[in-house]
Structure 1
Amino acid sequence: MSIIIEIGSTADIVALSKLIPEFEQATTFEQLESRLAGVVSLILVAKCQGALIGYKVGYQFTEDTFYSWLGGVIPEHRKHGVATQLLNYQEKWVWNAGYKQIKVKSMDRFPSMLKMLTSNGYEIVGLDKSVCGSEDKIVFLKRLVV
């Protein structure tokens, strides 16, 4: 399976998010535009034979930190390294843009994501508690080595 990673658009993300069952509600164009307005951002998409199969979205959090905000791969293309390819592309871009670290949050209910992050050098640095507890987010950080 030949995967191509390239720069995508907010429209790509809106379309793809509807195909990822773990997301209770699809990401809207308005949510994306609002979060990315006025900040340096990166939208990546993965394609297989021209079809969109995954994405990763991030933006500048601080001068030194890039925040990897959203990402996902449609179910029929999982377990083929697509998410890892998106992660690697993002890391190279972030490094070349001069950031020192990447921050990302995930939840226990996404074990594949947790495993991918830890196996790629992301360290747990905190926990964002939610009101109900079931939506607690694990905070990860990867320091980019010079």
Structure 2
Amino acid sequence: MNISFSEGTIEDVIQINSEIPEFDTKNSKDKIEQRLEGRLYLLLVASVGNKKVGYKIGYKVSETEFYSWSGAVRPDYRGRGIGKSLLELQERWVMNKGFQFISVKSMNRFPSMLHLLISHGYQVCGYENKGTPLQSKIIFIKKIGENK
């Protein structure tokens, strides 16, 4: 299986999100455009042949911090290192742009993402209580250039 990575489009994100069963609320094109408007951002897409199978999207929040906003890999392509590769490519881009930190939020209902973040040196730095443990958000941060 030959996996390629490139910068993608909002349409790619919409298409991939439509195939992610865990996402109970999908981001609309308008919501994504509003979130990214006027910001430096990176939108990476993973492809197998002509099929878009994963993405990672994030944006600048300050001179020192980049926020990794959203990402996903289609269920039938998980366990092949695609999410890990997207994370590592994003980190490399962020470091090359001169940011010092990457922040990200995740949830208990995404255990694979929690494991990926912790195994790549992200540290818990906060918690947003949304009423239930499955809906609440765990906030992570990583100093760029540090692996663990």
Question: What corresponds to 1:112 in structure 2?
Answer: 112
Question: What corresponds to 2:45 in structure 1?
Answer: 45
Question: What corresponds to 1:89 in structure 2?
Answer: 89
- Once residues 69 and 106 of structure 1 are traced to their aligned partners in structure 2, the CA distance between those partners, rounded to angstroms, is 9
1:58 equivalent in alignment to 2:40: no
SS of 1:85's equivalent in the other structure is helix
- Once residues 104 and 89 of structure 2 are traced to their aligned partners in structure 1, the CA distance between those partners, rounded to angstroms, is 15
TM-score by length of 1: 0.96
Shift of 1:27: 1.7
C-alpha offsets along residues 97-130 of structure 1, whole Å, 9 cap, x if unaligned? 1100100000001000000000011111111111
Identical aligned residues as a percent: 40
Deviation >3 Å, runs of 4+: 131-134
TM-score by length of 2: 0.95
- Once residues 80 and 114 of structure 1 are traced to their aligned partners in structure 2, the CA distance between those partners, rounded to angstroms, is 17
Shift of 1:133: 4.9
Shift of 1:145: 2.7
Give structure 1 stretches of 5+ with no counterpart.
none
- Once residues 81 and 132 of structure 1 are traced to their aligned partners in structure 2, the CA distance between those partners, rounded to angstroms, is 30
Question: What corresponds to 2:10 in structure 1?
Answer: 10
| Count of aligned pairs | 146
SS of 1:79's equivalent in the other structure is coil
1:71 equivalent in alignment to 2:71: yes
- Once residues 19 and 27 of structure 1 are traced to their aligned partners in structure 2, the CA distance between those partners, rounded to angstroms, is 13
Task: Judge conservation of contact 2:108–2:133 (CA < 8 Å) in 1.
Answer: no
Shift of 1:61: 1.2
Supply the RMSD in Å over aligned alpha carbons. Answer: 1.2
